[in-house]
Structure formats: C-alpha cells, structure tokens
Amino acid sequence: MKYDFELSLDEHTSIGKIVKQIKPNSQVLEFGPGNGRMTQYLINEKQCEVSIVEFDKELFDYVMQFAKDGVYGNIEDYHWVERFKGQLYDAIVFADVLEHLTNPEQVLKAVVPFLKPNGQVLITFPNIAHNSVLIDLFNNRLNWNRYGLLDATHHSFFTEQGFMELFRRVGLNVAIEDFTYSQVGQNEIASHYEDLSLRVQHEFKQREFGEVYQYFFALTKAPVANPVILRPENSNFVKTVTLFIETAQGVQPQTYPLNNRTGENRKYSLQLPSDLLNLYIQPLAGDGIVQFKVWVDGKVFRHFESRALWRKDGMYLFSGNEKENFFVLNGHDVAGKTVEIELIYLFDGRFTELEHIVLNDFKRHRLEKMRLEEAQTAFEKEVQARYDFMSARYNQVIQQKAWQRHRKYEQWLESLFFSRSHQKLQERLVQLTIESVEVDAELHTTIIKGWGFSKNDLEPLSYQLRYDEGCFYKVTPLYRKDVNDAFDLPAKQKYGFIMEIEQFEQADCLHLTIQTINGERIPVLVNRHNLSNASLYKRVRYVLGMVRHLGIKGTLKHIKARKENQDQYERWIEENEQFNLEQIQAEIAQFKYQPKISIAVPVYNVEEKWLRVCVDSLKNQFYSNWELCIADDASTQTYIRPLLESMMAEDERIKVVFREENGHISEATNSALGIATGEYIGFMDNDDELAPHALYEVVKALNLDQSIDFIYTDEDKITTRGKRFDPFFKPEWNQTLLMGHNYITHFVVVKRELVLNQVGGLRKEYNGSQDYDFVLRATQAAHKIHHIPKILYHWRTVETSTALDPQTKEYAYIAGKNALIDTLKREGIRGNVTMTKNYGAYKVDYEHGDKVKISLIPLMPELVNANWAKELLEKTNYSNCELVLPANITDFKNARVVLAGGNSLEELVQQASGEYLIFIHPSLLPQESHWLEEMANFMLMPEVGLVTGKIVNKDDFVMNAGVVLDNEQQSLIYEQAGVSNKTLGYYFRIVLPRELYTATEDCLMISKTDYLQLNGFNLALQSQLRGVDLSIRMQQLGKKVIFTPYATLVEQVNISRQIDKKAYGQMAAAYTADLLVDTYQNPNKLV
C-alpha cells in the first residue's frame, strides 16, 4: 500500500489536526481512508461511526472490516451520492484526497448536502508553492515522485487565494485555517537553498508560504463569527539576537529569539545592572541590514555607538565581520536603567562577491575619510594655536603706552586735517554708508556694518583695514535687497558688508581703505560717534521698504497705526500700572512663603549711568528679600571696580565677584551664580531694568503654587531717554514656539536647585545665544513652568545692543541653531535645524522615516470640481497621498484620485485609506508644493493631535492663522487677520509654528484613528465652528493643536467667516466654562 504510514496524532501533523476536530460519537464520512489507521482510531477511541469511499479494492476490503458502511469506486463516479442519500454527517474528511481528483469543486458541491448544520468538512492538501518545489522550478527541474508534494497522481493544485475562492463558490466557510511544515532539505524533494544565487536565496527565505507543507481547513455551512485564521510560520523569520552584558566581573552573554514576521520580541526589554560598563547588542553574525532603535526608561535614546559599515535614518548595514556587528551602549548612560531594544531585519543573508568588493572599497574610503578628518582637526588646532600666539604678540605691541600715545596723537591730527580731497574722491567715485560700528565685549570684537558700490559701474566695493587696527579681520558680503531696490541696482549683487575685527576693541576712529573693481583706492576715516547719514538712511530705507510692500496709502496707514499703537501702549501703562504701595506691602507681609531671590548680573565695561539704573531698579522693588549677585568679567574700564565696591558698601544685599580673566558672558554669569544663596535665581543684563513690582509678582505666584520651578514674564523695550515701547505680551507656555525662537527671553526666574543641581549654568560654547540654550535646557528639565502675564522687565535699546539691529550678531543666531540641535539630541529626536531668513528664528524638520499615507478630503464635497482637484494635485509633491472625491466627479482621472461611494463628507472619510486625513476647503490651493510635508512634519509627533496651516488671500494678506474664542462677543477672533504675509506679524506670530487652543476646519490634519475616536466633525454646527469644536475635544484627549506657517494656502474665493451668535452658543453649550478659555492667550491687549 503506497501510503501505508504509521498513525501520528501529534497536532503538528495533518492527521492529528483532523482527529482533534472530530468529537466523540460523531457520524463521519471519510473519503480515501487509505490504510484505515485513522478510521480505526476514530471507531475504537472516539466511538465514532465511520462510512468510507475508497477506489483501491485491497484497501476498501481491509477498512470495511471495521467501518460502518462504504462504497467501492472512484469518488468522481458519484455512486456514493445514491448510497448515502438521506444521511447527515458531523464530519466529512478529505485527508490528502482532493489533489488526486480532476474536479474537486464538483465533489465539494456534492458533499455539502450531507453535512449536518453544525458539521465540518475537514481537508488537508499539499502546498505546491513550497520552496522545495519552487527551487527546482527556478532551476528548470520538475521531478514527479511516488508520494509527497509532487506525487505523480496529483491532478489539482491550489494556493491560499485559490482555496478561498473555491470555498466561496461551493458555499462553505472557513472556521479554521492551519498548516503543517517542512523545511527545505528535510522532505522528499532533494533541493536546497544553495541551488540558488545569494540574492535569490534571501528572497525565497522571506516567502510566507515557503515552508508550508500542507494546508488544513475546517469548513462549515454557516459563516463563522471569529474564524481561527493562522498565519504561516517560517524558520527563516526567527532571528537570534545576542547581548553581551559587560560588568567589572566579566562579560555575560544572553540571547533571545525574534520573529521578524510576526513581530514577537521585536521590542525586547531588559533591566540593566547598576555596575554595567557596556552593553553590546549583536543582531547578526554575518551580512545584513537592520533597522534599530533604543529606548532608555521610556525615552528614545540615540547616544549609542555602531560599527555598521553604513547607516541612514535608523538603518544599519553590516558586512561579514562578526566581531564588528555590534551596537554599543555605554554603561555611563544606561547602567541601572530599563532598556528597550527594537530590531527589524531588512536583509539577513550573504552579500554577493561583487557586493563585498564594493562594500570593502566603501569601507576603505570611509576609513581614509576618518583619517583625513582627524588630520584636518589636528591641523586646525595647530593653526588656532599659531593664531592665538600671533594675536597675543600683536596685542602686546599695540597695548604698549608709547604706541598708544603715538596713535592718539595721529588720530587727533587726522580729525583736524583729514584730507578734503579724500572726501571729494569718495563722493565722486563711490556711494558708501557706514551704518554702525559696535563693540562686542563678549568676543572682544569690533563690528562694522554698512554698504556701498561704485558709481561708475555699480559694482560692489572691497574693504581693507589698516595694519595696526586689528591683527585678524574678515569681511562678509551681504545681500541687501533694501539697497538694491532703493538705488535700482542689479538683482542678487551683494552690496552690504559686515567687517569683524577680532581681538580689537576700538576707541573712536578706524581707518578703512575702499577699493573699486577697477583698482581705485580711497582712504576712509570712520568715526563711531559721527557716522554720516547712517541714521537718516535707516529711516529712508525703512520708509522705502514699506512703500514697496504696502504702497503709499498703506505706508501712511501703517505709520499712523504705529503712532496709535504707541499711544495705546502709553494708555495701557497708565491703566494697568497704578500701584497702591501700602496695600501691596500689607499683602507681602501676609505671604507665608517669602523666599530670597538672587539676581545674577554679569558686568563688562558697562557705562556707569546704565549700571546705576539697573541696580536702582532692584533697590526700588516692592519685595525686599533679594540679593544682587554681580560678576565683573575683568572689565578694562578703570571706573568699574570702584563703582561696584561703593555699591556693595551702600547695600549689604549687593554682592560682587571680580574675575581675574575675561571669560565672556556665560562664564561671568556662572561666577555670579556661584555666589547666589537664594532659593530662586533671576537673570538680568547690566543695562536693563526691572519693574518695581517684578519680584512681588514672582513671589505672589510662588505663594499660590510652590511647585513652580521656572517662571517667565512679559517685557518691553526702553530707550536711552526712558521711553517704553514695543510691549511683548507673551503666550502661555508654548514649547513648539520656543523651538522656533526664544520667545521667553526676559524676565526669567528659576528655582536654585534646578539651575545648580540639574541644568547647570550657562555654557560658553553657546555665547551669543547662551540665554536661549539655558531656557531650552531649563524648561526641558522643569516640572512646572509658569508665565506671569505682566510687563516686569524693560530691555534697554542702546547703540551696541542687538535689540535694534539683529543682523549685527549673526554668530549669535548660529549659536542658537546649535543650541536647538543639542536640544533634539537630549530629547532623542532626529531632526534638522536651519536658520530662517528672519534673524533669530529657526526651522526644525523632524525625521519620521517612511512617508505615511495621507488622504486629502474636500470639506464641502458639493463645491468640488475637477479643475480644483487637478490644480490641487499639481501643487502637491507628496507622493504617498490620495485625493478622495465625491462620486459625482467622474470627469477627472488621476492615479492619486479615489472616488467615494457617495457625495457626503462621511462617505469620503469612509473611503479614505490614509493613516492621516487632511480636510481642505475647496476654495483653497497650496502656495508651495511641499505643503503636505510641512503638515506631516508636526502631525507625526506623538503628542500632536491636529495641525493647521496658514491661509492668505490672493493679495498675500493673512486671513487665518488660528482663532481665539471670544466668549464675550460669542464669536471668533482670527489672529493676525489682515496682516501682510510679508511681515513677521506680532513677534513671529505668523512665521513660526506654535501651539493653538483652537483652529477652524479650513485646512486641518488629523490621524484617522483620532478622527474616528472623536466621532469626527459635528456637522450640525456652523462652518468655522466645526474645527473649533474638534480642537476642544482634541485638547481633552491631551494632544496638541499646531499651527505651521510653512503650509500656506491661498484663498481662490473668499471664505465666509461670519459667526452667528446663536450658532456660537450652540457650540459653547456643549462645554463647561473652563474649556472655553484659550490656555495659550495672554490676557493683555492694546485696544
């Protein structure tokens, strides 16, 4: 007998799976019982009554000795239909039988009437797509055998999809789908993976059904609510990850299995010992590519080493050398912590010989590059050492008294007799403006800024400095669109310049030599106290710029509005800063918590009058428990030390440390922190002022909540004449906005233990943006951040301050960029930071890996037309997106268009297959084609629930940049509406991403999961309120609403934004009063 095998009831075998499904005392109809071993088991052990159909006479006669009934003959002769007519069975069995039939579909149709209502048809069937078969076919071989997968008597073959279609046609439903397995080389077919090329081997090993030997199905007449559909297993999916835990006692290896297909152990967690030195993670023993991530105590961790040959976006390539296939985590970072490892295998096999040649060559080049970089670093250090030596020698010479006497005498003569002919030559040949000469005391650098061009040929000028006025200097050309426009000069030519003179702090005059492109040289004497026409030019170019952007009427309107705004601020000060000192002192006396507040102030060569004003602002505080901690940064002005010593003598609350060496602002501030003893520490510049109620308001807030450890306040600017202007009413804590610019600035008060024990002081490597770096680190570490919405700090705008001209300290903005890069590293977030065209503002592009699928859904399907759809897709570069259109739009065909089953918004959402949805008003079109990338940049952050863009009209005026609830008027306030999109808005409000409380639905991105969880828009509400309502519900989920100006959309037709009070009331009625309060808005405003 051909299939005379021993009976195995192991559940991993096909017979074992069938027997398990048959209950005791069942009526069974078995087709092709073979040697009857299973038949006999069912009769003897499960007391079943079994009838058979068998075409082999010898087997039939043998099995009929114990079977209840039977039919001898070919199944496809259908004699059994008449014989068993009227009988019903609990189980009908086809154990490796159907493949021998010429028309198994007709047979299955014939058996269905014999099945009881709760009965099952049990089938096992060989997998023709087993890798053993396909390897032979791939190599042009097909050898039929006496038994097994390629039994020569097999007539019919099916794959999984074919089975499902077959069962549907015959009226059977799958209750169970399962499999038996056999690895390549371990069955009757003599094929091996080695018969394939290396690359093809890998692809074969990744086949889901590659090791499935037999299918097993349990089928029923009635549909099954929860069928058991198992997915195939494959031994090649299981990887072994090896961990080496290194401590002082030695190295302890540990392994765990990972199923790359099912995801089992894809994330693996372990608690590391406190004495860990290193953790080595070996994902591969040979060639391969993996995707790797690590979390430490629940936070993404990226500070690990990798010996991968190539890496990009979390993917790592290893080649050949088992000793190098490691990720290494330093015990200093992870000892005693919980580490979670995620590995995904993208390729695990062997690279071809050619690939190895290329990779080895790449490795050699990489090593050579590393060697060159190390050599370059060493060379730069050597050059820097020589530079420092030359600079020191140079300064030695020019600081000698004899040289200084000579220079002063020479300058005196020049100021009296500077050649009139030189001035006439300058007026005839060039147009030159020196706008500013400033001293950067922090970097011991003099900065000259201006612009100029040759009158003959309109070419830019070159600039040189006299030999004894700075050992090292550099000149950077700048593009000045204002100059080009004002004088109608060639576009893109750089007529502006910044000259930075290192290690030189000039007194009054500097000598420049101006040279035209034709070689004409003109001496120019620059007197910092008498810069001809600089201030006049600034005013002229300011007005010209406004005329260019706003027109003459718009300019006049703007100047009038600015004057009104200043008048309004003066009225605001009168109305909001009237103090009852007696009442305030009585309130202070009742404070249960009266902490000492230390104010840290670095001082360097500040003018005496401004330092006195700064100190007096402390002495005038309503709250008296403070100390002033001053660090003099080795000032060279002789009046500084006596002045500070006299201040100490006048008030015991004033403490001073005198530094022996100049260390710039960061180290000076840290010296001030070193003598601070207060529970809280505030920060001031040496020429600014505190409002008299500043510390009172701080302590008042702390009495309400002592868990606050970071406080910031509103501020304004103050001129040298004492006039206050430009109030900055800041939003409540807005982390997204802080990642775009330092909106916190002044006045900052931080809990002492946060500064000294957690964050540390200021870092000198970020000089220029040291405050920004500190704020980023401190807010990151703070448990509670509190904003006091009152003007408590006055930032003085003096000649050498960046407050009036931010371009004069470009290095500071580079330092700010580096501070943001470091912030991303601390958070374990991958991203790219760039400086925007607006000084002091930055853009962060986060790295999210593969592009998610996004579905674009028009908000008002009834307004959609084919032209709008076509233009929208033409202006959308994002590849993995679809535009879901209503069913009635049949005249537009595009690969990215999907037609819904109907015309309603709900039907469009139902049709959407994207992981994320973007609702867009059909009156809007994107201004830039990368708008979807910009929306997704924030949407893919886990804490974000909604993202909205900026809407402008065709004249480029802002129409919608987020909305504020106006509960008093029962309406919406459209922030910055009507502001020119060419401006920054109110303190970068329209040009930087920020968190909002509410947004309209006009352009709104949301994950489909969140949308369905929130039950979508409330379509009963008036338009514009639907997005607001969804925003409030999203806030209740604890997720953020983000505005991004980098996704700008243009209104083609004006969108109605008139809100009916009754409609507003309908929306508001669904919420308590506290949920209708915008948590980001500053309560102050100028009427």
- Beta pairing partners, 244: 253, 280
pLDDT-wise least confident of 588-592, 865-869, 975-979 = 975-979
Q: What is the pLDDT of residue 537?
A: 46
Residue 3 has pLDDT above 70, yes or no: no
Q: What is the pLDDT of residues 994-1024, one digit of tens each?
A: 999 999 999 999 999 999 999 999 999 999 9
* Low-confidence winner among 378-382, 688-692, 969-973, 1008-1012 (lowest mean pLDDT): 378-382
Q: Which amino acid is at 695?
A: L
For the cut 70, the answer to whether the pLDDT of residue 397 exceeds it is no
Query: Which position has the higher pLDDT, 175 or 550?
Result: 175
391 pLDDT band, cuts 50/70/90, is low
* CA angle (1040, 1045, 1048) in 5-degree steps: 120
Quote the CA–CA distance of 912 and 473 in Å, as a whole number. 60
Confidence of residue 985 (pLDDT cuts 50, 70, 90): confident
How confident is residue 563, by pLDDT bands cut at 50, 70 and 90? low
User: Percent of the chain, pLDDT > 70?
Assistant: 89
| Pairwise CA distance, residues 914 & 930, whole Å | 18
Backbone angles phi, psi at 946, to 5 degrees: -135, 145
Bridge partner list, 382: none
pLDDT tens figures, 913-942:
999 999 999 999 999 999 999 999 999 999
Residue type, 709: D
- Mean pLDDT across 249-273: 91
Report the DSSP beta bridge partners of residue 994. 1043
Give the model's pLDDT for residue 479: 85
Torsion over CA: 487, 490, 491, 494 (sign): negative
Provide the pLDDT for residue 313.
75
The pLDDT tens digits of the residues spanning 1030-1056 come to 999 998 888 999 999 999 999 998 888
pLDDT over 80 at 740, yes or no: yes
Structure tokens at 977: 């509406």
Q: Please report, for residues 260, 345, 933, the alpha-carbon distance to residue 848 in angstroms, rounded to integers and kept in the order given.
A: 21, 19, 11
The confidence band for 379, taking pLDDT boundaries of 50, 70 and 90, is: confident
pLDDT digits (tens, 9 = 90+) for 24-70: 999 999 999 988 999 999 999 999 999 999 999 999 999 999 999 99
DSSP string, 613-676: HHHHHHHT-S---EEEEEEE----STTHHHHHHHHHHH-TTEEEEE-SS--HHHHHHHHHHHT-
Residue 244: closest CA among 288, 221, 209, 277:
277
Tell me the C-alpha distance between 318 and 281, whole Å.
Answer: 13
Sign of CA dihedral 429, 434, 440, 446: positive
Phi, psi (5° rounding) for residue 534? Answer: -65, -50
Instruction: Kindly state the tokens that stand for 867.
Output: 């032209």
Alpha carbons 1055 and 96: distance in angstroms, whole number? 68
Question: CA 244 to CA 281: how far, in whole Å?
Answer: 7
pLDDT for 557: 57
Mean pLDDT (the chain) is: 86
pLDDT at 442: 53
**pLDDT tens-digit profile of 524-538?**
888 766 664 444 444
**For residue 662, what are the CA distances in angstroms to 5, 439, 634?**
93, 15, 5
Contact 603, 668 (CB under 8 A): yes
Which residues of 704-784 form beta strands (DSSP E)? Answer: 710-718, 724-728, 748-751
% of the chain surpassing 90 pLDDT = 53
Give phi and psi for 855, each to the nearest 5.
-105, 125
Here the tokens at position 61 are 């006669």
Strands 626-632 and 267-271: what pairing? unpaired
Say which range, 207-216, 334-343, 518-527, has the weakest mean pLDDT: 518-527
- Non-local (6+) Cβ contacts of 517 within 8 A are 454, 457, 459, 460
Residue 194's CB is within 10 A of a number of other CB atoms, namely: 11
- Average the pLDDT over each of 73-77, 276-280, 384-388, 456-460 and give the range with the smallest value: 384-388
Report the pLDDT value the prediction gives residue 285, as an integer from 0 to 100: 81
Kindly report which listed range (92-96, 366-370, 943-947) carries the lowest average pLDDT score: 366-370
Q: What is the pLDDT of residues 904-916, one digit of tens each?
A: 999 999 999 999 9
**pTM attached to this predicted model:** 0.55
| Alpha-carbon radius of gyration of the chain | 40
Binned at pLDDT 50, 70 and 90, residue 709 comes out as very high
pLDDT over threshold 90, residue 511: no
> What burial letters (b/e) apply to 56-88, b meaning 16+ CB within 10 Å?
beebbebbbeebeebbbbebeeeebeeebeeee
The pLDDT tens digits of the residues spanning 611-629 come to: 999 999 999 999 999 999 9
Cβ contacts of 350 within 8 Å, gap of 6 or more:
198, 201, 286, 287
pLDDT of residue 344 exceeding 80: yes
pLDDT tens digits, 460-499? 999 988 777 766 788 889 888 778 877 888 878 899 998 8
Above 90 in pLDDT, residue 505?
Answer: no
Q: What pLDDT does residue 6 have?
A: 59
**In angstroms, what CA-CA distances link 121 with 170, 259, 532?**
12, 32, 101
| pLDDT band at residue 387 under the 50/70/90 scheme | low
Cα 340 from Cα 530, distance rounded (Å)? 65
Q: Which residues pair with 713 in a beta bridge?
A: 788
**Separation between Cα atoms, residue 345 and residue 315, nearest integer Å:** 10
Would the pLDDT of 409 be above 80? no
CA distance 608 to 370: 52
Helical packing angle, 353-398 and 401-417, nearest 10°: 80
DSSP 980-1034: BTTS--GGGTTTS-EEESB--SSEEEEEHHHHHHTTS--TTSPTTHHHHHHHHHH
pLDDT bin (cut points 50, 70, 90) of residue 146 is confident
Residue-level pLDDT at 125: 96
Residue bearing the bigger pLDDT, 550 or 237: 237
Q: What is the dihedral of CA 628, 632, 637, 642, to 10 degrees?
A: 50
Please state the length of the chain: 1087
604-618 exposure pattern, b = at least 16 Cβ within 10 A, e = fewer: bbbeeebbebbbebb
β 724-728/680-683 pair status:
unpaired
**Per-residue confidence at 408, pLDDT binned at 50, 70, 90?**
low
pLDDT for 364 equals 77
Smallest Cα–Cα separation from 726: which of 734, 715, 735? 715
Tokens matching residue 47: 């007391």
Element (H, E) at 1049: strand 1040-1051
Question: Mean of the pLDDT values across residues 640-654?
Answer: 91
Tokens read off for 824: 């991303």
At 300, is the secondary structure helix, strand, or coil?
A: strand
Closest CA to 667 of 629, 631, 637: 631
Banded model confidence at residue 114, pLDDT cuts 50, 70, 90: very high
Q: What is the pLDDT confidence band of residue 235, given thresholds at 50, 70 and 90?
A: confident
Which residues in 285-320 are b (16+ Cβ under 10 Å) and which e?
Answer: eebbbbbbebbbeeeebeebeeebbeeeeebbbbbb
